[in-house]
Amino acid sequence: MPLPGVGEELKQAKEIEDAEKYSFMAAVTKAPKKCRWSACSIYSTQNEVAAALAEAGVAVFAWKGESEDDFWWCIDRCVNMDGCQANMILDDGGDLTHWVYKKYPNVFKKIQGIVEASMTGVHRLYQLSKAGKLCVPARNVNDSVTKQKFDNLYCCRESILDGLKRTTDVMFGGKQVVVCGYGEVGKGCCDALKALGAIVYITEIDPICALQACMDGFRVVKLNEVIRQVDVVRTCTGNKNVVTREHLDRMKNSCIVCNIGHSNTEIDVTSLRTPELTWERVRSQVDHVIWTDSKRVILLAKGRLLNLSCSTVPTFVLSITAKTQALALIELYNAPEGRYKQDVYLLPKKMDEYVASLHLPSSDAHLTELTDDQAKYLGLNKNGPFKPNYYRY
């Protein structure tokens, strides 16, 4: 089904993964006259999906295993369109938006809005807004309830195990694991690892998230306190240099290091490219970094996103996120002039509820309907929204 009301030209920087993502991309492509795609991760593209889109006439600049230079070349080709002027941007990680600001600022003269799906990309947008440099309205999809709960929490709870098992063949019962960050992604990872019998530690900067971790039965520590004893180090903070060279030097032999937070910045992989260390590729997406005393650290996906590089995302979750993105695009494009200023906006609660309602039939779920008297008592519309914007799900 083509998306109603989406404009003539659209730029995308999304992972190009599987049939569900293909369906979303195909639907978006039917709406505009021109749509160009690049990947948000160098490992996440499935070549057969990209090829199918290209065969259908879509401009796709992505393939699995891009180099760093390839990655930015693809984004540049996505933006540099030889007279073709985009009016919407759909981003995941903020790299496309960053590139447009850096190389092609004039493009924003016709851009009507940006839709961003990741915590890191949203953070970048808020920084631009705070500095007064955000040129167009932007929609924060990452903090929508459906994205936070289903993509970040429930999906990561499964993809963490999928990625670890595919790459390491390790049994995690009894293993000591430290998870850096206890946001929605961290919560999902910790639930999964705890269910397998792992001993899980948490590092956190936020006292609220730290207290949540304590109440969920996890010990909150500083990374330096446990770095010598843990078997697995996993980052999911959205920050940079969470695991430094000092931490890596102090890890035990065969410690597994991986990231499910942001790009390749959370683990200081660059510091491992030194003459005294040896890199040994043992299988796809698995490198052993060997110290002079023969200690090995097992680095997965070169510090990039494990869930995109070493596993797949369930199509059900992709469907939820894709519908959220599609509604955000439609809303920004169809909004009358003046409705949105040059700022970052959350998805309206009504849209979140609508996306959730579309996926209830797959679980054979049946909603209870309020009576007129009950709706009046609660001060609600019978058709929603059912919760205020400040409600914590």
Q: What is the pLDDT of residue 53?
A: 86
- Is residue 377 included in any domain, yes or no? no
> Is residue 212, in this structure, part of any structural domain at all?
yes
CATH code assigned at 38: 3.40.50.1480
Does any domain span residue 7? no
User: Is residue 354 domain-shared with residue 245, that is, in the same domain?
Assistant: no
Burial class of 57 by CB neighbour count within 10 A (0 to 12, 13 to 18, 19+) = exposed
d(CA 111, CA 98): 14
Flag whether 217 is marked binding.
no
Q: Is 184 annotated as a binding residue?
A: yes
Does 141 share its domain with 153?
Answer: no
Residue 275 within a domain? yes
The verdict on 304 and 178 lying in the same domain is yes
138 in the same domain as 258: no
Is 48 labeled as ligand-binding?
no
Q: Are 159 and 111 part of one and the same domain?
A: no
The answer to whether position 383 is within a domain reads no
- CATH at residue 222: 3.40.50.720
> Is position 338 annotated in a ligand binding site?
no
Residue 385 lies in a domain: no
**Is 94 annotated for ligand binding?**
no
205 a known binding residue? Answer: no
In the chain, DSSP finds a helix count (H) and a strand count (E) of: 15, 15
Q: What pLDDT does 1 receive?
A: 41
Backbone angles phi, psi at 114, to 5 degrees: -120, 135
DSSP annotation of 59 reads: E
Q: Kindly state the helix (H) or strand (E) to which residue 345 belongs, with its residue range.
A: strand 344-346
Sheet arrangement for strand 232-235: 219-220, 199-203, 176-180, 232-235, 255-259, 296-300, 286-290, 278-283
Tokens of residue 310, six digits: 């070493």
> Is 260 labeled as ligand-binding?
yes
Question: Does residue 282 fall inside a structural domain?
Answer: yes
Residue 272 Cα to chain centre, angstroms? 25
Is 186 known as a binding-site position? yes
Residues 104 and 196 in one domain: no
Last residue in a domain, options 288, 310, 332: 310
- Is 7 annotated in a binding site? The answer is no
Q: Are residues 106 and 85 in the same domain?
A: yes
The Cα 391–Cα 287 span in angstroms is: 44
Q: Is there a single domain that holds both residue 104 and residue 179?
A: no
Range of the domain at 139: 15-147+313-368
Whether residue 208 is annotated as binding a ligand: the answer is no
Q: Compute mean pLDDT per 10 residues along the chain, 393 residues long, and list them.
A: 51 56 58 76 86 88 91 91 79 93 90 92 94 96 90 89 93 97 95 97 98 98 98 95 98 97 89 97 96 98 89 85 92 92 94 94 95 96 91 86
> Does 302 map to a domain?
yes
pLDDT attached to residue 78: 87
Say how many domains are in the chain: 2
Are residue 152 and residue 274 in the same domain, yes or no?
A: yes
**Which of 277, 310, 343 is at the close of a domain?**
310
Check whether 337 is labelled as a binding-site residue: no
The per-residue pLDDT for 282 is: 96
